[in-house]
Structure formats: structure tokens, C-alpha cells
Structure 1
């Protein structure tokens, strides 16, 4: 299974980090040259971005454009699935079992979140067991787009849908309240971005997060519903909870080798 690592030309340290990590797993990857925010001017941003509730930073636009470019590459390929990664992730000890091929992915599954950010999410109570992990249906937004498996079919579909950008890439992929494609979560996860590691010294500082935090956010517009629309919405919510009976959980990170950090005992203990 092809693994695409999105990496800026100037981030040679991050590329070295990922090269070492993949070498330890006995795997290779394809570096995908990220679109640099410094190459974007206002005209490009205005053509691509829908100005709604989100006040966009140039880094967020460049990040989304990089993911779209990778999806296009996947859609043009022949593999059933591929994995898209950003260049600042730590891997679990058994990550290679899930990155080497897609034989473990059930038929009909198009999108799997392979990472965790240690934020609470809603997942199904039952899921298919894969070795020591479970593949759970994801029913709420799980932030981050640093490691996910995507099918060739869905990649082609998303390239078309993302002709105009109206929200960040992780929101676009993993907000299940506004998504039509079922999404799945691997638990425990096999990767985590460094910025979400507890008590971890920063060696791979985020290029995007400081800019995102410094950019003022506009309030989300309130949607005004009629009484009948409100009633239908509440009935749908109730039926959804009855049918899916989700549980609130923090997706743990899988056990790591010492070289990757002293994390497993803290998270899973």
C-alpha cells in the first residue's frame, strides 16, 4: 500500500524524522512536496476559499491544497487504498502491520482515521477486531489529518467535492455530523502528532498551529429553523442515538518503542 508523506521542501529535519521512522518499520514511503503558504497570494486564496464562518490562515489553505493534490495522485493510481501522512507523527510498535498493505481493510470501507489526538470522540460500541486493535465506526468530529487510509474511489470523489474550500481539511474529512461517507477509527491508534503527546519535549514544532491560533475566528452563523424543522431534527437525533448507541471515548495510542517516546504506559495504563 502506498504511503504518501506530505513535507515542505524546507522541512528537512521532519523528512529525516519520517525516513528514520519508516526505515525502522522496514517500509518505504513517497514524499509529496507540500504546497508552501508563501507561494499563495490573495488572488489564489480568494478563488479557492469560500468566505464563511472560518477566517482562513494561508497555512490552512496550503495544507488543504496539499491534501487535495495527494488525493488526485491516489485517484490516478491503481491501488485500492493509500495512506496519507503529515511529517510530524510518532508511530506505534505495530504500525507496519497496518501500513504495509491494505489486506486488513474490509471491503466497502473508504476512510479510516489511523491517528489519535487524545480528544473525546463518539464511536460505536462494537467493531471488527484486527489483531490487538478494533475498527470502530466514528460518529463525531475527530480533529487532525496526519494519518489516514483512503480508498481510490473516495479520493477521486473528494477531489471533485473540494473544488471550493469551506473548512479545514480535518473538518472536511472527519466531521461526521456533516459527512455522507462512513468513517472508521482504528483503536488503539497507530500514530499521534508530536504536539498531542503528553509531557513531550517539542522537537518537531508545528508550522501551522501557531498561525492557526493567532488567526481570529469568526463566530459560526446560527441557523434559524422553523418549529417543524426543529422537531424533525430532534427526532432524527433520537433515532440516531437509538440505532447507533455510541459511546464517548478517548482513542488511546498504541504501544511505542522506547526510541519513539515513553508514552504507552501513560496512555494505556
Structure 2
């Protein structure tokens, strides 16, 4: 069986219990991967990798990125695909069968199982069946979400090579920076608690992510011009995808099916 890990801070004891119980309910053995703590990051990393994106990363954002990078190293070391989860992911009961069906896929770096409630650029046609009721859509450019994905060694190699000199919020790095050969499951087989809470499901205090950080706007100033230049380049790179909506690309959401998710634990 494919190894499945969830990233979890030592202090997030209730979230760990939630994930472990959820895994038992759907028959998916989950291993805990300790998350990097923001207060343990060396100042040199904050001044280096932490300044390499479109704005300065917060310590929590860099810690989340480094936590995911630790998982990527394990994928590369073990030379086999792995399921990586964040500890606020709500999982479909179909996920264990889906990762088993996906294990031997070829020509793929990354498989995104998550519904982040954002539209994404996907290719019209070319969807391939994964298992009854689930297909894999070809991703041209995804937008957000790093809470539930399957990563292959080829993808880990690309991510790790780039991470030597650049960092970003984990989802931006996965979807925009490394140019992975990506697929998206349809329907989505996972969603973060806060996404489902916005749709009316009650998760109480659990709904706030324990490893993802709130993002802040960067004030416009002369010293920040290089960050805004990077942001402008990102927007320019998106232009061909928007033009592609006139032809081979579609810009749409891929939704999670709440009825397939296990009931929340107390």
C-alpha cells in the first residue's frame, strides 16, 4: 500500500487525533509527519528562502513549506509515490481505493485530490478513468491547495531542485513554481475543513488550519519593488492560460462530494 502521511504540529494534539480517527474510519493507515515549527527556523533561511517569492514569507508560511519539503525528501528517498495530507483535510471514503489505483500511473509527477473552492485551468477532453466514479483531469495550471496530494519521485526531484534557491507558500510552490506534470481527481476526494465550513458543515474550532498561515498584503514601497516585479511576471505568465479558455482550456471548479466524507469526530 502507498505510504500516507499527514503534517501536524506537536501542539495540535486534537487535530492529530482527528486525522488518525478519520484514517481508521475509511481504512487508510496514516503516519504523522511532524511539522516544522516557525520559531525553529534559522534567520539565514528567513533572509534567504523567505525573501525569494512575490513578497516576504511569514515564519509560519516558510515553516509550512519546509514541512512539505520534508515529505518530498521522503518520496525521493523511498523512490515511490506517497500521499501527503495536511491535518485539516477531510477525506472521502473513496480515497484509499483511488491512491491504490493511481500507484502505477506513468508520466505523472503530481495528483491533486483537493477541492480548495477555487477555479483552476484544466484541459478540455483528455480525462482518463481512474476507477468507477473517479476520473483524472489534466491540469494546465492549478490555483491553490496543498492539503491532499500524491507525489511521485519525478515530481519530488523537480520540487527539491527548485527549493534549493526558491520558496513560496506550499500550494503556490506546488502549482506554479515547479511546472509539474499534474492531474486532478474529479470529483475531488478531499477538502480542507474551512472550505466545507463555508458550505455549512460544522467543524467548530477545528476549522482553522494549524499549519497554513493567514496571508497578508504587501505594502507598496520602493524597497518592495522587486517583490511587485515578481508578482507582475506571475500575472503575465497567467495570460496565455486565460487566452486558452477560448480553445483547449476550461476554467472551473472541481468539487468535493461531502456525502462521501466520514462524519466528523468529537
Normalising by structure 1, we get a TM-score of: 0.81
TM-superposed deviation, 1:9: 0.9
TM-superposed deviation, 1:166: 3.7
- CA 53–180 in structure 1, closer or farther in 2 if over 3 Å, else same: closer
Q: Deviations over 1:65-97 (max 9, x none)?
A: 011111111100042x11111011111231221
- CA 74–239 in structure 1, closer or farther in 2 if over 3 Å, else same: same
2:84 maps to 84
TM-superposed deviation, 1:189: 0.6
Secondary structure (helix, strand or coil) at the match of 2:124 reads coil
Deviates more, 1:59-68 or 1:180-189: 180-189
Deviates more, 1:179-188 or 1:249-258: 249-258
- CA 252–40 in structure 1, closer or farther in 2 if over 3 Å, else same: same
- CA 199–40 in structure 1, closer or farther in 2 if over 3 Å, else same: same
Asked whether the 8 Å contact 1:74–1:155 carries over to 2, the reply is yes
Aligned pairs for 1:20-169 (under 5 A) are 20-79=21-80, 81-100=81-100, 102-103=102-103, 106-126=105-125, 127-130=127-130, 131-169=132-170
Q: Deviations over 1:95-152 (max 9, x none)?
A: 221234634x531111111111121122122201222012011123321100111101
- CA 25–254 in structure 1, closer or farther in 2 if over 3 Å, else same: same
RMSD: 2.8
Asked whether the 8 Å contact 1:141–1:174 carries over to 2, the reply is yes
Alpha-carbon distance in structure 2 between the residues aligned to 1:223 and 1:56:
14
Alignment partner of 2:254 out of 243, 251, 256: 251
- CA 57–102 in structure 1, closer or farther in 2 if over 3 Å, else same: same
Q: Which has the larger radius of gyration?
A: 1
Alpha-carbon distance in structure 2 between the residues aligned to 1:59 and 1:207:
10
Q: Give the total of aligned pairs.
A: 247
Alpha-carbon distance in structure 1 between the residues aligned to 2:67 and 2:141:
24
